[in-house]
A and B are shown apart, each in its own frame.
Chain A
């Protein structure tokens, strides 16, 4: 137990140090968002039916797949730190489990699990809820750890990396399209029975009088702990690429050499294998899910979705390669950006075209729009990926220094996720003009798509190249130290100095303001005016006739207020700073 307490204190100390600065803001915003979700969960516990069981199932899924998309989960204390201590694996696992309870996410999880107290069916069961909460949280945390460890093992071989990418893509697409399956199985308004019996529901069963749930959780925790301990012993050492066949390099000049280097990296780096397989699986499965309902219109969009996802996954292109940028700095004029663009296009392009043609053949069209989107997005992606990665580089751990968790390419996992979302939106935007032309004028769109694609490829690549030439040493310094060089004039995007609480409010307003304003406000209002009622998750369409307009307008107002607050607080702080 002494080891566990020491580790927990160690983690607490690290967290205390990281509370300062941007990371602290990120933690605070994440924590606040988590608290909102936790409050929602507790609210569901008051409702009739299996709503709480469903919410807990979603929490469990979040614990399992969340780390996959946010850089390998909480790695504040890495197992490698303790490899020289000679602890037996199960003791190491147990101690790491205890320390895993220290942090923002577990606290938020525990608060959400307070819903179990609400759901308790008798005063005795309310007492039972206390151990049930702790056990349930342990189940979540351990499932998360085991999932990450399993994926880590999978990413040591190419087959594993591709398999994991496939599985993750399918799971995420399934979540995105869950409503399709809900409708298909005719359970739009009901929670399926089996949800109660998932491990996420065992705590709930216990507080409803079925104490077997507690015992089952204890057994599961023991099993998971044993599995995790076993996996930890296999984790030591860096991930190894599996490839052994070496084709000789046939490049004749600098640019071809960059392409050759990049193509070899794409095929040999298992993390990149995983990213691309994930993007492909996501695109294909997301677009084909509505086939369950007999609706085929989405299928041809598999290729465009794949391209956007691939760009998002690879948007930290320079960051992932780490400090090897020094070689490009020592060889000025070596057209590193152009080579990387070409390699990206050669890697993503053929697959995208193949998927586009195959899927459109199945549905018999619309050829013009899909080919337009494919051309425009490929060019946009090949232009934006290097541009984003030099302008918004997220410093990563050098490949040769990464630990036993191959998903962990950077210490700034939040920033990586943000970068991926940014890339997704921007790449989608590069496709918009040509797609609009194709919708209006048919085949003219393909010409427009080729033109905007080529323009993006050329122009954005040029911008990236210029930036790299001008700020290369600064980027290298950032990658070397993880710190941004202090610039004398603050960036326009940087928040001015203000109290942490205000920063948090501003972040939340910016991140979440769009939801009330657009889908729940503007879009819902359009639906109400068109008489489209009871429409998926647009709240206003479910209201009583007299409440529909007020609810939609209320959301618009809420969204506007959030953006207004997000602008006003920094403005006031800036003015204060200028005056002081």
Chain B
């Protein structure tokens, strides 16, 4: 079966810093894939290159077999993306952003109106009908970004830190939506540095450290008998961080 997302040899160097060093990853169809790593490990850079937002120095990525860089039209239709910290059309309301994007995706006006209504109500954004996106809180921004990723019924979701700064109630809503998406046959890649969250949601995991894949595969295989957190520290940590204390406290 074709992988939902296949990454081969992606590499990116900024100046003399190698951000991503020949990463290979395979996200099988129907899997819920967690990408974990420290800050600056290269998660965001890898995901940006995998969906066509950052040009890699070398390597390639395929979404359901379509090359992201040579056949972007097809590949980008199949994927919904939630990038971390990028702007939206800030002077539009949530409903306007989704309507705009739906039409941009080539959906008909009626379909757009229907889906927008449902998304706004499920994500509880319909109470902020007159609020412009620039006035949204961080949690609301994550939710509207998730809505834009889901709008065109993609088969793969690529989510960069979708739970950061989201309140517990909204997080529960988002988790339900994501689980439903996978149960319906969709595939998800999400990055996070919250191990418990990845353990709770994902069935596959990839550990990125200093721009390389330190471990990847089924969750059970990667963590073995330990918890994911212990395994992660073992894989990427220098081993001494836990014993360091602060001298004045």
The chain A residues found within 8 Å of chain B, CB to CB, are 238, 240-241, 244, 246, 249, 251-254, 256-258, 260-261, 264-265, 268-269, 321-324, 326-334, 398-400, 473-474, 476-477, 480-481, 483, 486
List 21 A-B residue pairs with CB atoms under 8 Å apart, sorted by A's residue number: A241-B91, A249-B96, A249-B100, A256-B103, A257-B103, A261-B100, A265-B91, A268-B91, A269-B91, A321-B89, A323-B87, A324-B87, A324-B90, A329-B52, A330-B52, A330-B53, A330-B76, A330-B79, A398-B86, A473-B52, A480-B86
Q: Which 4 A-B pairs have the closest CB atoms?
A: A257-B103, A324-B87, A323-B86, A268-B91
Chain A positions within 8 Å of B90 at CB level: 321, 324, 399-400
Please state if B104 and A332 are interface contacts (CB–CB under 8 Å): no
Residue of A nearest to B75 (CB): A332
Question: Which of A264, A327, A476, A486 has most chain B Cβ within 10 Å?
Answer: A327
| Complexed CA–CA distance, A384 and B110 (Å) | 35
Chain A positions within 8 Å of B14 at CB level: 481, 483
Chain B positions within 8 Å of A252 at CB level: 103, 109
The smallest beta-carbon distance between A46 and chain B, in angstroms, is 51
Residue of A321, A323, A329, A331 touching B101 (CB-CB under 8 A): A331
| Complexed CA–CA distance, A105 and B39 (Å) | 39
The chain B residues found within 8 Å of chain A, CB to CB, are 14-15, 51-55, 72-73, 76, 79, 81, 83, 85-93, 95-96, 99-101, 103-106, 109, 129-130, 132-135, 141, 148
Residue of A nearest to B51 (CB): A330
| Complexed CA–CA distance, A326 and B88 (Å) | 9
Chain B positions within 8 Å of A476 at CB level: 53-54
Please state if A334 and B104 are interface contacts (CB–CB under 8 Å): yes
Residue of B53, B55, B130, B134 touching A400 (CB-CB under 8 A): B134
| Complexed CA–CA distance, A473 and B109 (Å) | 29
**Given A329-B53, A473-B55: A264 and B103 within 8 A (CB)?**
no
Chain B positions within 8 Å of A244 at CB level: 130
| In the complex, number of A-B residue pairs with CB atoms less than 8 Å apart | 111
Please state if B89 and A324 are interface contacts (CB–CB under 8 Å): yes
The smallest beta-carbon distance between B149 and chain A, in angstroms, is 9
For the A-B complex with A257-B104, A268-B132 known, give 17 more contacts whose Cβ atoms are closer than 8 Å: A238-B134, A246-B129, A251-B109, A257-B100, A257-B103, A260-B100, A261-B92, A326-B53, A326-B83, A330-B52, A330-B81, A331-B76, A399-B87, A400-B90, A474-B55, A476-B54, A480-B86
Chain B positions within 8 Å of A483 at CB level: 14
| Complexed CA–CA distance, A173 and B112 (Å) | 48
Please state if A331 and B54 are interface contacts (CB–CB under 8 Å): no
| Complexed CA–CA distance, A331 and B55 (Å) | 16
The smallest beta-carbon distance between B2 and chain A, in angstroms, is 21
Chain B positions within 8 Å of A322 at CB level: 87
Chain A positions within 8 Å of B54 at CB level: 473, 476-477
Please state if A261 and B52 are interface contacts (CB–CB under 8 Å): no
Please state if A324 and B88 are interface contacts (CB–CB under 8 Å): yes
The smallest beta-carbon distance between A115 and chain B, in angstroms, is 46
| Complexed CA–CA distance, A240 and B51 (Å) | 33
Chain B positions within 8 Å of A246 at CB level: 93, 96, 129-130
Residue of B nearest to A245 (CB): B130
| Complexed CA–CA distance, A264 and B106 (Å) | 21
**Given A241-B132, A258-B104: A321 and B52 within 8 A (CB)?**
no
Residue of B nearest to A402 (CB): B134
